A and B are shown apart, each in its own frame.
Chain A
């Protein structure tokens, strides 16, 4: 009976949400909330001695909490469009193959939506970060792997006819300086297949102090290390047991699709 209660608490958090909206200072909600991505990983891995297990033991008098219950509680249950079959298959696979997430796994990324100040104007920019481990010292750090912002793209040319003429070599490219001063048509002067490396541009602007980060508006974590699946986790800040860092999206994905996802969503090469 107690177990049923817990599962109800964990899995039917929608009801709890409605009741708890009126609460002001709830230890219960705070205990159930996935407060950090570290806690998400702990719960995903079904680690022992976690805060939630201790809380349930202390308050519900049971330790009978299955990994399935915990995994289900890690989904955003306010999303009514879950493909429940996919969710079940995913959970089944995690349990059967005993998958765990490690902090220094290679294939998980933080996607940060940032506001930046570029030459006195505010712009949006996406930054992708992941964990890098120093094999010698075992030290870990977050590193920037890519950035994506419209203002870092080379703008479309205003006059496609402008170019460095085919006889320029005859004059030792005497007109090169004039061409490169024409910043409104920059795209005409580089190879048509050229795609600028935005991270390099960003670093260059940083070193010239022409850009600065104002704030991080949103964070989403993308986990691609589970065979056949990708899921993203974001922070659902609300007065509910089902709150905090939760799975907001789950997709079946083979390796090819994951590579495409990295290119299109994470702006990785």
Chain B
């Protein structure tokens, strides 16, 4: 008990209360809080009581309890009017500086805000799934290094059965078909999923129960868009939809919202796995070989990913194929990283985030810099105010509120600019950002941060300036504080230059990398080559169309505008991961299995894509035995340890005893994004492959060729109009993500540099104005324009050099980290540093020279006459 008497509430909070509270209320509030504190000490312990005391002190502060004498200037309406007036006069007097300041800050706000929204959008992917942290995509990790995000068909359902740690699981297998209802035909994608899909993911349900819908065969879940496409405004629930090609019918059992644009998982309709075709069943032969399935699991929150992965080693040993047991491990890929894993732009997003902060920093520095400068310029006004009886605080309040008004104005301008820029940003960069009600909370956070930073900067600047001004000196026109403000400004300028160089260099690297990937020799040629979808479900009478297709191909071959035609299941840039294990039939190495990506093609594929053969021959329709022939790429040959074609035979995993003869080897060509190295690939031949038609036109005859193609298409009686795409464009679209971020970052780094130059411009202009007299005297004493310019610009040139030197190591570090992720990447060349350094240096040098030159060539008499 005795001890408790000595316990006191936190002194700082108590002092604060004594300071801020009006005398009328102090007895009641402080007394009651003390009493409450002591009682709580006894009841809940001193620690808790202290915390509560501090909270209550702050809660006690309200408009009526604050000591009014602390804020004299706010209460004096008369002076407020005067402040506004002198602030406005000052603004008008130095119009250009003030406008530069205002415009620079608005531009800074606008860019920072847009970048913030972009970064937030990219980070918001899949965050609407309640259990996102426990959702994983299942893949495989290989002991040779590397991993894959696909699994065999039976793996995940079995894992779910055997491991209690897995709460729910679902495979995800997208298909496409023509759906019809009442003579209406719509091409719609649909996806086979397990009932666990409803537990793992949270797509908002509009009608029905998605879980129940996925539990029984013969039912279908439509998205709003798919439902609208099929039924218009009518109610789709309980209606029957026919799939033309599948020849099956489904009852609509639920309708969900369209997956939002920030969802990795996209679908148009969901069909329960129990309705899946027979070849997808888990007991099918070959299903432990063929690795092409996308699958997700939801794991128990009490277990961790690493623990489960270790437990799953047992699973691999129990179920996986003999040859995979030692070298394969189950891999869980967190859903939280899925978007970044797929797009590979985590670094770019980080760069954009840094860029946003840098722009905000640069514009705040500008603003603070100019505030200091403006305050110094107005020393006389300060002097007069002080002599006439203003308190130091009052003057401070005047200047701080002036910058607060300017700040609020540019904030408003910046917001309006961003608001109008958003639609353009969205269409141009293919984002989906908005300033909506939902983002208000984080916006406030963003704003609060910006406000705080700025107010701190400008208050600090003003205060530094003020403490250096003695009223008497100020009245005499002596700038006592100029020196001190100057050094701070120099530091801030250096930071600006450094940041600009970093941003510029970063942008150059991002562009170079994208360009490098685009300009890589892809080892095939997609120019003048178009792909036309020929899926059998596209045609009203698919049997007849299939038969027609071969004839059409032969007719096309005879056209003079067309150089080469081929059927294929896929094309470079559209390749869907699909691989299988193959066993080489060699003497002595019968245990070796190699997994190869597989691609089924028709005759003439290599010719159409201009992929050269390294060895052997191409497939031919005239050779009967080619139905079991295969062609490998060079990487696959290396993997197998082969270097000739002497009776090379492969056995396909799950393919029975069919011996596949290797009849040729093609040079390595890129069929997937350059983010990863070329994978071993096997081409199988089938005259039945007719999913896509690849056509190479003769140069200059593309338009004629397309017309011929369209005419042929019309003979096929398809549901849809003629559609084609160029292979090279498709391949380039693999870098769309990369490119749009590169475009965004170059735009914003340009903005940053403009803002930095504006800052340099106004600071230079201002400080040279201060030295007008000096320049005048120098010139009168015989200095040349050149030497004056030199003496004026020397320090700024030095600042630019220092800024550049500081930036170099930072750029090197950041860019090495960025490039690390690409399999085919540029080497960081000194060119990047030189170019960005030179650009920033030249820009600032131009600004400096222009202003110094102007000052130096002025008539000295004018300057000397002026009496300040």
Does chain A bind chain B? Answer: no
Residues of A within 8 A of B (CB): none
Residues of B within 8 A of A (CB): none
